[in-house]
Structure 1
Amino acid sequence: MPDPSMTTSNVRLVAIPRLAAGGRWRVEAMRSLSEPQLLWFTRGQGRITIAGMTRGYGPNNAIFIPAGTMHGFEVGQHVFGTAVFFGRDTALTLPQKVQHLRIRENSAQVELNLILDSIGREQAGDKPAHDRAAQHYLGLLSVWLERQIASHPPEDLPHPESARKLAARYTQLLERDFRSGNGVADYAAALGVTPTHLSRVCRTTTGRSAKAILSDRVLFEARRMLAETRLPVQEVAQALGFTSAAYFTRAFQHHTGKTPSDFRRSGQDEQGPGPASKPGPAVALRPGLARAPVAPIAGRFR
């Protein structure tokens, strides 16, 4: 009898452009997943922020992101590749830390493409033992990752280790508590630093303030809950720590150009500039990727 933990039914291969099919916010906003994933970029370039640090990516970059790790990345019209989602209870041997591999050897690139093609073919097929065959290919993917990590020495990172560690601790704490209604000052106190120092470090490692990262994470969850559930707006607001549905509506509209109800009906933000309900200083929703000036959410992110 096959081991249920070895099934491939929870493993999904998705073309990277399709990840943004419901709106670019689904990939560009800060969020985490409950399962590990591998991003294999074959064309295009952009920036990716993982655990409070932003770096560039390009063709033939393999990026492994463990479950529960806050991240977001730019996905332009020329970006192509495959995302592998391993499922929550995978029995595969996978890395425990973030890995950003720049695969320069043609043979390694070809090998990975063949493995991914084989997994997809077996999952889509109906030949005898296709699920078992796909599982063996997944095992080869795990081996490929392990060997590439062993053969690629760690890159020299651009920021001091102390800054990277603080930014990573902030994103971990934020991922755990973003529904609490806490502001940057609360997170800074929990980390034993001042809000000014925390924001300075976040700007150094990501190009964004601590407040902007917090705002981005809460807004992603708001969008997700509005798009994927039927909870009343008031319950969404309460779940995210807002004091009232009216305040949540004003804050949401500041950043998206839509009320929560309008967003729910459309399923995504406008692709072009969105109107702000009242003036305020410009804040980029993603570093270097702002498509329109939007007003900040004040008070909620003190």
Structure 2
Amino acid sequence: MLAAKGVPVFKLYGETSWPTPDLIHCESIPERSRLHDWEIKTHRHGDLAQLLYVQAGQAHVLVEGVEQQISGGALQVVPVMSIHGFRFSEDIQGYVISLAKPVLERFTPLLEGKPMAQAECYWAGDDRRYLDDLFGQLTEEYRQQRPERDLMLQSVICALLVWLSRRSRERVQHIAKPRERGQQHLDHLTQLIEQHFREHQQIEHYARQIGVSVAHLNALCRQLTGQSALQQVNQRVVLEAKRNLVYTSMTIGQVADSLGFAEQAYFSRFFKRATGLTPKEFRLHPRLTTEPQ
């Protein structure tokens, strides 16, 4: 089944119906990926999130435009509706756990870290044996029909989510206390950019909405992200342009118009400055982008 913008939407990859009466689905990574030549192409899920746990081998992970290579002892969170794809080495070992929305809605209010809301990769570190045991127990319980099976599945899932929530909070706690107010301003800016990036608003507009000066906003952005406020806005515009160029049949002119550019030529110059490629070149070879600063 295809989404409006051309990104396939599946229940599980390659399937349009949920294959089990459970609200949880568990399988090894090789089970599905070997059927597709070790590559799970770009897609998304409308009503479930996933946990990809790599125990051995290599996985090339793409989630919402961010690519990385992960290996043994890594746990990748794939939130609901995020665009993602994977490519695995043939010696890959690990698991994919899919959680339907009702499961997330049951546990999320109890978790302070909100671990399933953002695409994050967590390294097991000293907890690797613990995670191996949890995923092994979950898989064994999932494949058998024993008394209280559903309760045990939920218990193990709860333990996994608690582990993720604790690790998520640890990341936040690494930010120094004086940065907390600045992080709130940055979060506010991110929300405003998401609402208005097609409007080409001046940075003064964002600063006024947040209640700080332009200079202070730029200083916060550089301190916390290494980019200016304008670079943050432009980055969001470029991400949307890339999505439209890769996943839709819109002409370059239509993409430019949808992003608020008065002229296609100006959009093309803007896109090339950001990626090193013209929109046409990127559409033909999206992986060649050089992302100059």
For the aligned pair, the TM-score class normalised by the smaller chain equals 0.5 to 0.7
Q: CA offsets, 1:171-220, max 9 Å, x none?
A: 12222332332232221121122221111011111222111111112111
* 2:66 equivalent in structure 1: 27
Counterpart mapping for 1:101-120 below 5 A: 106=126, 108-116=127-135
Contact 1:12-1:85 within 8 A present in 2 as well: yes
* 2:23 equivalent in structure 1: 6
Q: Distance in 2 between matches of 1:7 and 1:169?
A: 34
AA of the residue aligned to 1:264: R
Q: Distance in 1 between matches of 2:232 and 2:239?
A: 11
Aligned mate of 1:209, from 195, 220, 228 = 228
AA of the residue aligned to 2:241: A
AA of the residue aligned to 2:281: D
Normalising by the residue count of structure 1, what TM-score does the alignment of the two structures yield? 0.57
Aligned mate of 2:60, from 12, 15, 18 = 18
Contact 1:119-1:138 within 8 A present in 2 as well: no
Q: CA offsets, 1:247-281, max 9 Å, x none?
A: 11111111222211221122x1426x5xxxxxxxx
What's the secondary structure of 1:231's corresponding residue? coil
* Same amino acid, percent of matched pairs: 23
Unaligned 5+ residue runs, structure 1? Answer: 29-38, 44-58, 70-79, 274-284, 286-292, 295-302
Higher helix share goes to which structure?
2
Aligned mate of 1:155, from 169, 173, 176 = 173
* 2:199 equivalent in structure 1: 180
- The structural deviation recorded for 1:115 is 3.7
Higher strand share goes to which structure?
2
Normalising by the residue count of structure 2, what TM-score does the alignment of the two structures yield? 0.58
Greater relative contact order (Cα < 8 A, sep 6+) = 1
Counterpart mapping for 1:89-128 below 5 A: 90-94=104-108, 95=111, 97=113, 106=126, 108-116=127-135
Question: Structure 1 residues 179, 155: CA separation in 2 closer, same or farther (over 3 Å shift)?
Answer: same
Contact 1:122-1:133 within 8 A present in 2 as well: yes
Q: Distance in 2 between matches of 1:5 and 1:177?
A: 40
Q: Distance in 1 between matches of 2:219 and 2:164?
A: 34
Are residue 140 (structure 1) and residue 140 (structure 2) matched? Answer: no
Contact 2:51-2:97 within 8 A present in 1 as well: yes
Report the count of equivalent residues. Answer: 228
AA of the residue aligned to 2:65: R
Question: Structure 1 residues 144, 177: CA separation in 2 closer, same or farther (over 3 Å shift)?
Answer: same
Question: Structure 1 residues 4, 210: CA separation in 2 closer, same or farther (over 3 Å shift)?
Answer: farther
Contact 2:49-2:78 within 8 A present in 1 as well: no
Question: Structure 1 residues 166, 11: CA separation in 2 closer, same or farther (over 3 Å shift)?
Answer: closer
Q: Distance in 2 between matches of 1:137 and 1:96?
A: 21
